[in-house]
Structure 1
Amino acid sequence: MENLKIDSNFWEIFPEATVNVLTVDGLDNHVSQKRDEEMVHVLNTASEKAQKYLTEEEFSKNEIVKIWREAFTKFKKKKGARASIEALLKRVSQGRSFQPINPLVDLYNSISLEFGVPCGGEDLDKIEGSMHLGIAKGGEAFRPLGEEKDEPALSGEVIYYDEQGAICRCLNWRDAQRTMLTETTKRAILVIEALDEAQQARAFSAIEALNKRIFEYFGVSGNIEVIKQEEK
């Protein structure tokens, strides 16, 4: 069974994209003081490594920020929506620290920082039917993390979705509460996108590093799939 299906309308916007997918089973994602202490170290180390992506004094002129802002002009989006990697790098640029969330989220955030790529994850057991990446029709149900009311997807927005609604809005901007990774997550799907050839090698290295880090931490190894547009 395919864990992620990519709709043809996504390739119409991003024909050179690759989507790196890692699926993992057998996780023990519980939170503890010892694990939090470990994750603080992992995140601090990753934050230091992310400094190499912030070479320009003006934040918006840094290469990774420019690349993803340009990508976000190609589809309908909610005002203020930014790529997840930009939000992480913004914290680094401001000298703000990262607090642990849960081990799996902390690990993928550390990889995102180290490699300068967006990374997201969902609980596979909470996804209804197949998970898709494509263009929203508009109105797909979506309740963001930390919110008490729905904020449905916009028509023309790039979203991850399933039979019940949107899973992640504006490509990789914000996850839904419904499918988020929690302490009880046993099976997960993790995704790293690259939108052109220049980003592909770094994104693939990142998904391999994430798989290795998950194995070192959880003792389980996942399955990697790289999805590209089929040649005609």
Structure 2
Amino acid sequence: MAKEIDNKGKNKEITKLLKDIQDMIKLNFIPTDLAKHELISPWRTVFSGFGAKPSKYHSSIEAMMRRILKGGKINSINKIVDIYNYLSLKHILPMGSDDLDKVEGDITITFARGYETFIPLGTTEEEEPKKGEVIYRDNEKVLCRRWNWHDCDQTKLSDNTKNVVIYVEGLPPVKKAKLIEVCKELIDLITTFCKGEADYYILNKTKSSVKI
């Protein structure tokens, strides 16, 4: 989580980090091996568990890597998004975010009941998540569908974002120490390039909530 940040404009150093990590992905991975990668296959298993066909619905990190390996690229968006996309690719962990000033009430990760509303990023049309799929939601709307598959439009980050929550997600074999390492790296980059104040919290089945 980061508060009172300056997210305006682009930064050449961050842009270069994002470009260089994509070049590294191209050199070290091939599309046919992604599904079996030790940090990607657990997400495919989890997606299958709540009814999302993993060959159709990819975790955010698998989707980014597949785009790169098919000749596409991850474009620069803004400083915060570029920072966590870089770290997501570097550590092969799904990451996402919400503008806290656009969130209504509490943020919860839960199972959809089938009547929630969701507006996909870049659109204005409402969808209804399928009952049983894992979603992030606040008190009024769905923030992300299929765990980390697709973000909503309402809480996307912009140049004017001042307060942000960033999700760093890990499934076994990822250890707590690894998540802490990534969170500390994230905080260092944010405070270096966006100023403000940042902190992290580790949530799991034994500590499932935090007040921010």
TM-score range, shorter chain: 0.7 to 0.9
Deviations 1:63-116 (A, max 9, x none): 333221112111133883210000111123224332211111111100100010
| Alpha-carbon distance in structure 2 between the residues aligned to 1:57 and 1:167 | 31
Q: Is structure 2 residue 8 aligned with structure 1 residue 30?
A: yes
Deviation at 1:46, TM superposition (A): 2.1
| Alpha-carbon distance in structure 1 between the residues aligned to 2:8 and 2:47 | 34
Q: Which residue of 2 aligns with 1:4?
A: none
| Alpha-carbon distance in structure 2 between the residues aligned to 1:213 and 1:146 | 27
Q: Specify which structure has the higher proportion of strand.
A: 1
| Preserved contact between residue 120 and residue 190 of structure 1 (Cα < 8 Å) | yes
The farther-off stretch of 109-118 and 69-78 is: 69-78
Q: Judging changes above 3 Å, is the alpha-carbon distance between structure 1 residues 128 and 44 closer, same or farther for their aligned structure 2 residues?
A: same
Partner AA of 2:2 in structure 1 = V
Q: Judging changes above 3 Å, is the alpha-carbon distance between structure 1 residues 101 and 144 closer, same or farther for their aligned structure 2 residues?
A: same
Deviation at 1:133, TM superposition (A): 0.7
Q: Which residue of 1 aligns with 2:88?
A: 112
| Preserved contact between residue 118 and residue 193 of structure 1 (Cα < 8 Å) | yes
Aligned mate of 1:45, from 16, 20, 26:
20
Q: TM-score, normalised by structure 2?
A: 0.87
Aligned-pair identity (%): 30
Partner AA of 1:221 in structure 2 = E
3-state SS, counterpart of residue 154 of structure 2? helix
Q: Is structure 2 residue 148 aligned with structure 1 residue 178?
A: no
Q: How many aligned positions are there?
A: 206
**Bigger relative CO (Cα 8 Å, ≥ 6 apart):** 1
Q: Which residue of 1 aligns with 2:75?
A: 99
The farther-off stretch of 73-82 and 39-48 is: 73-82
Q: Which residue of 2 aligns with 1:64?
A: 39
Q: Judging changes above 3 Å, is the alpha-carbon distance between structure 1 residues 77 and 60 closer, same or farther for their aligned structure 2 residues?
A: closer
What does 1:1-232 correspond to in 2, within 5 Å?
Answer: 23-31=1-9, 35=10, 37-50=12-25, 54=29, 57-77=32-52, 80-230=56-206
Q: Which residue of 2 aligns with 1:10?
A: none
| Preserved contact between residue 6 and residue 161 of structure 2 (Cα < 8 Å) | yes
Gaps of 5+ in 1: 1-22
Deviation at 1:43, TM superposition (A): 0.7
